[in-house]
């Protein structure tokens, strides 16, 4: 297949790796990509949010499938003109991508679908925020309604901090005050074709910047998959996945279909396992990053077939994707100052060195300038280790990280510790 992938992060790098691992002779182009992706496949300097440009390119180059990686192009509507050209595209149209782009829209769909989530109030003025904070009580959860690149959510006991966070985002279209949900978080992805869904294997993300879940929220500092403790809580991973499919993913996709906004792409269910049951904390309209980097190495079913079947509305009747029994761990290396003010343009060393078996590096924000590899963003790269046991996989990931140099670079030291 000729596959065009939009995006420039480690998630897109992991998608490329998974497609190459099929050994099916796919021709892959990534726009715009990064230094790690460019070392493996063709990259192209094209604005991934410009739908008309992308659609014209895909038609002119006889692309068989377009895969949209990040949320910004989806929310901007990149998929719409591609689909109008009759080209299969993995990623929802703008109207359905509002499931991620607007927390208020997501809450409305969840209500229509009867999906379990926290109580919430949408506020567009500060006095409404204050009343909702008092009504729902501490800890306070305030969320920007629109996209905020991982910075839109604050969870705090400090009422004044909650108010000032809300004040900032009120100017950008409103906020959601939500009931605090307590329990372990799970990321579970589903392929969706507008009507049917197929599940991937669950992962856990580490959102806070510091060890022991301290410090600011980030886009994700590490992840692991699968989650062995689900066996204890739910009997088996399959039982857990099945409950989420039945009570969350399928009703959501059917509610979107009923509204005339069919969702074809990746439904990311961000879940909290509360003592009262599973609750949705957020939906995203694309693969999670860094969770994808630990889920796809375990996928045994060819990824290209699942992406294309989702884009073409053919998931119904297909068997569930198969996963290996291997475990996978990713540790993310971030720039000095991330997430508040990442310092970029610094040189990385040691990235080209030979890696132990089962270890790969997914690039997130890198560019090659001459023979130097420079950082271009906050999350720089992730070291992914896949193997038969968490203890050895995480040790391999940290050993490989020791060999990488970046002034001011930092990473968490406790990724997958609880399962090792």
Residues of this chain that interact with ligand AMP (CB under 6 A) are 118, 141, 143, 153, 155, 178-181, 185, 207, 217, 270, 281-282
Per CB under 6 A, the segment of 53-61, 112-120, 131-139, 281-289 that binds ligand GLY is 281-289
Select from ligand GLY, ligand AMP, none the partner in contact with residue 284, using the beta carbon and a kind-dependent cut-off of 5 to 8 Å: ligand GLY
Closest to ligand GLY by CB, 145 vs 289, is 289
Count of residues in contact with ligand GLY, rule CB under 6 A: 7
Closest CA to 13 of 345, 287, 356, 321: 287
Q: Residue from 220, 222, 226, 382 that binds ligand GLY (CB under 6 A)?
A: 220
Residue 291-330 contact track with ligand GLY, rule CB under 6 A, x = bound: x---------------------------------------
Residues contacting residue 303 through CB under 8 Å, at least 6 positions apart = 15, 18, 19, 22, 296
For ligand AMP, the closer of residues 102 and 386 by Cβ is 102
What is the Cα Rg of the chain in Å?
Answer: 20
Nearest CB to ligand AMP, comparing residues 48 and 152: 152
- Nearest approach in angstroms of CB 150 to ligand GLY is 7
Q: Is 196 in the site for ligand GLY (CB under 6 A)?
A: no
Pick the closest to residue 88 from 321, 259, 305, 253 (CA basis).
305
Instruction: Show the tokens assigned to 113.
Output: 């679908």
Position 8 contacts ligand GLY (CB under 6 A): no
First to last CA, the chain: 39
Work out whether 101 is an interface residue with ligand GLY (CB under 6 A): no
The beta-carbon contacts of 227-231 under 8 Å, at least 24 apart in sequence, are 227/186, 227/202, 227/203, 227/419, 228/419, 229/184, 229/418, 229/419, 230/186, 230/202
For residue 417, the partner it binds in ligand AMP, ligand GLY, none, with Cβ less than 5 to 8 A by kind, is none
Assigned token pair, 58: 């895909």
Choose the one of ligand GLY, ligand AMP, none that binds residue 289, judging by a C-beta under 5 to 8 angstroms depending on kind: ligand GLY
Q: Which is nearer to ligand GLY, 6 or 87 (CB)?
A: 6
- Of 373, 377, 350, 353, which is closest to residue 365 (Cα–Cα)? 377
Cβ distance to ligand AMP smaller for residue 187 or 375: 187
Decide: residue 414, CB within 10 A, 0-12 exposed, 13-18 middle, 19+ buried.
middle
Closest to ligand AMP by CB, 144 vs 331, is 144
Partner whose binding site includes residue 100, from ligand GLY, ligand AMP, none (CB under 5 to 8 Å by kind): none
Show the 3-state SS of 151-205: CCEEEECCHHHHHHHHHHHHCCCCEEEECCCCCCEEEEEEEEECCCEEECCCEEE
Contact between 288 and ligand GLY (CB under 6 A)? yes
Q: Please, which of residues 110-149 interact with ligand GLY by CB under 6 A?
A: none
* 381 vs 363: CA distance, rounded Å: 4
**Distance (Å) of CA 340 to CA 142, 215, 218, 290:** 18, 11, 9, 19
Please, which residue, 223 or 348, has the CB nearer to ligand GLY? 223
Q: Which stretch binds ligand GLY (CB under 6 A): 13-21, 175-183, 287-295, 402-410?
A: 287-295
Q: Which is nearer to ligand AMP, 180 or 398 (CB)?
A: 180
Nearest Cα to 281, choosing from 161, 139, 119? Answer: 119
Q: Which of 162, 231, 386, 198 is nearest to 301 (CA)?
A: 198
Residue 187 pairs in a beta bridge with 203, 270
Residue identified by tokens 């396992």 is 273
Can residue 284 be called a binding residue for ligand GLY (CB under 6 A)? yes
Q: Which is nearer to ligand AMP, 177 or 396 (CB)?
A: 177
- Our finding on whether 289 is near ligand GLY (CB under 6 A) is yes
Site residues, ligand GLY (CB under 6 A)? 205, 219-220, 284, 288-289, 291
């Amino acid at each position: 297949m000729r596959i065009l992938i939009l995006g420039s992060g480690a998630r897109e790098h992991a998608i490329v790796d998974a497609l190459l691992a099929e050994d099916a002779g796919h021709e892959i182009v990534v726009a715009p990509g990064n230094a790690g992706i460019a070392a493996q496949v063709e990259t192209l300097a094209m604005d991934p949010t410009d739908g008309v440009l992308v659609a014209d390119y895909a038609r002119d180059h006889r692309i068989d499938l377009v895969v949209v990686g990040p949320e910004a192009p989806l929310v901007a509507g990149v998929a719409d003109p591609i689909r109008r050209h009759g080209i299969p595209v993995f990623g929802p149209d703008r109207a359905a991508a509002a499931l991620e782009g607007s927390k208020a829209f997501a809450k409305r769909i969840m209500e229509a679908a009867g999906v379990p989530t926290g109580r919430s109030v949408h506020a567009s003025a500060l006095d409404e925020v204050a009343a909702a904070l008092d009504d729902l009580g501490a800890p306070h959860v305030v969320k920007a309604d629109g996209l905020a690149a991982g910075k839109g959510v604050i969870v705090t006991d400090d009422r004044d901090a909650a108010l000032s966070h809300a004040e900032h985002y009120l100017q950008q279209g409103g906020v959601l005050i939500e009931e605090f949900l307590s329990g372990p978080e799970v990321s579970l992805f589903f392929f969706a074709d507008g009507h049917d869904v197929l599940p991937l294997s669950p992962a856990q993300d580490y959102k806070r910047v510091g060890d022991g879940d301290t410090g600011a929220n980030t886009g994700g500092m590490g992840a692991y998959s699968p989650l062995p403790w689900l066996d204890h809580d739910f009997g088996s991973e399959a039982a857990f996945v099945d409950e989420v499919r039945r009570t969350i993913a399928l009703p959501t996709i059917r509610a979107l279909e009923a509204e005339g906004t069919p969702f074809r792409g990746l439904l990311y269910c961000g879940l909290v396992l509360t003592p009262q049951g599973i609750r949705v904390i957020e939906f995203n309209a694309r693969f999670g990053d860094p969770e994808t980097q630990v889920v796809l190495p375990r996928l045994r079913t060819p990824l290209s077939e699942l992406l294309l079947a989702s884009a073409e509305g053919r998931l119904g009747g297909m068997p569930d994707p198969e996963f290996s029994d291997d475990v996978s761990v990713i540790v993310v290396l971030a720039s000095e100052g991330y997430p508040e003010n990442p310092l970029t343009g610094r040189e990385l060393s040691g990235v080209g060195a030979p890696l132990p078996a089962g270890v790969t590096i997914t690039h997130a924000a890198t560019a090659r300038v001459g023979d130097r590899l420079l950082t271009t963003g906050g999350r720089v790269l992730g070291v992914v280790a896949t193997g038969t046991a968490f203890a050895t996989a995480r040790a391999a990931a940290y050993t490989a990280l020791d060999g990488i140099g970046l002034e001011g670079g930092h990473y968490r030291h406790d990724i997958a510790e609880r399962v090792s």
